[in-house]
């Protein structure tokens, strides 16, 4: 048990050195510890799930991670990619009875996830993850930045060069120098200034508590794009329109739960991946992920 507890905070190598044990012995003991954690936790019965994918190695090799957002822990890691059939493996693991008790499924706008969910949990409301939506908008802003860098010359180009992080970060996360660089950039380039302000404004969409107000806000935001010659934003707006129901669903009072956990989980998984770097044992990574939110034995 002590080995498993140590492995929650340390690498296998560090634990092996500390306890004067063989590396493989430590890994095997850690697996036993994590399997016992899962046994005691019992079979998942989530009401609100979050669906995401991670790349486990180079070459676009993906696995799906499903979390219980109310219990705030991952409950499944699997699939052979991120196809509809891979997502169906989760619902098979959960079982038909439990799948039909899911009320809300939070995911990105990857169609195989939503298609599989509508088949296996048709009663669930699908919400598209706010952080993924904003990421698409940030990608559009970065595309505008690149096009402006190619278009302008002289001093104006100098203001843009090397400022990608400054432009795409939240203002409150910037250092004092970063804020000054941002102000100089936005003063020097009108198109980037407009695009930056529109991105900041768009995030207000999730502040509304009524579907009619959300629609009114989005229509007004989209109207501002006319005549601005910012095609990446027009494409983004069209994408939002195509996925409107899953985006606007956030405003319902029954859906007001903390979604920051999804993004925090992704960061935690990246840490787990770094700790497991060089260990070509997918089962070990899976156990690390699905026990990440479980208490000690």
36 pLDDT band (50/70/90 cuts)?
very high
Written as six digits, the tokens of 173 are 């996360």
Question: Minimal CA–CA distance to 144: which of 191, 202, 203?
Answer: 191
Segment 37-54, tens digit of pLDDT: 999 999 999 999 999 888
**Alpha carbon 30 to chain centroid distance?**
28
Q: What is the mean pLDDT of the chain?
A: 90
Segment 188-224, tens digit of pLDDT: 999 999 999 999 999 999 888 888 999 999 999 999 9
Mention every residue, 6+ apart, whose C-beta is less than 8 A from residue 41: 294
Sort 277 into a burial class: Cβ within 10 Å, 0-12 / 13-18 / 19+: exposed
User: Does residue 246 surpass a pLDDT of 70?
Assistant: yes
Percent share of the chain, pLDDT over 70: 93
Is 91 within 8 Å of 79 (Cβ atoms)?
no
Q: In degrees rounded to 5, what are phi and psi of residue 69? A: -75, -20
User: Does residue 73 surpass a pLDDT of 80?
Assistant: yes
In the chain, DSSP assigns E strands to 48-57, 61-68, 73-78, 104-107, 125-128
User: Does residue 123 surpass a pLDDT of 90?
Assistant: yes
Percent share of the chain, pLDDT over 90: 66
What pLDDT is recorded for position 37? 96
Written as six digits, the tokens of 247 are 């985006």
What pLDDT is recorded for position 249? 85
Task: Give the architecture-level CATH label for domain 48-128+254-290.
Answer: 2-Layer Sandwich (3.30)
User: Does residue 268 surpass a pLDDT of 80?
Assistant: no
Judged by DSSP in three states, 260 sits in helix
């Amino acid at each position: 048990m002590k080995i498993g507890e140590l492995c929650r905070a340390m690498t296998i190598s560090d634990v092996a050195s500390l306890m004067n044990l063989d590396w493989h012995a430590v890994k095997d003991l850690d697996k036993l510890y994590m399997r016992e954690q899962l046994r005691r936790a019992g079979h998942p019965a989530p009401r609100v799930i979050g669906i995401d994918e991670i790349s486990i190695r180079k070459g676009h090799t993906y696995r799906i991670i499903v979390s219980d957002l109310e219990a705030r822990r991952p409950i499944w890691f699997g699939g052979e990619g991120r196809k509809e059939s891979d997502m169906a493996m989760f619902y098979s693991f959960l079982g038909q009875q439990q799948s039909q008790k899911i009320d809300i499924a939070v995911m990105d706008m990857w169609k195989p996830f939503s298609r599989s969910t509508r088949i296996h949990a048709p009663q669930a409301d699908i919400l598209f993850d706010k952080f993924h939506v904003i990421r698409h908008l940030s990608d559009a802003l970065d595309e505008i930045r690149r096009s402006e860098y190619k278009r302008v010359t002289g001093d104006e180009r100098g203001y843009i060069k090397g400022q990608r992080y400054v432009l795409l970060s939240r203002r409150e996360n910037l250092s004092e120098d970063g804020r000054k660089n941002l102000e100089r950039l936005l003063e020097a380039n009108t198109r980037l200034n407009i695009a930056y302000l529109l991105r900041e404004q768009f995030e207000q969409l999730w502040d509304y508590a009524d579907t009619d107000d959300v629609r009114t806000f989005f229509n007004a935001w989209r109207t501002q794009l006319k005549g601005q010659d910012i095609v990446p934003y027009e494409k983004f707006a069209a994408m939002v329109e195509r996925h409107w129901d899953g985006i606007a669903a956030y405003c319902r009072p029954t859906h007001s739960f903390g979604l920051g956990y999804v993004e925090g989980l992704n960061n935690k998984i990246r840490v787990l991946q770094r700790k497991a770097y060089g260990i070509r044992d997918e089962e070990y990574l899976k156990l690390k992920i699905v026990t990440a939110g479980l208490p000690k034995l």
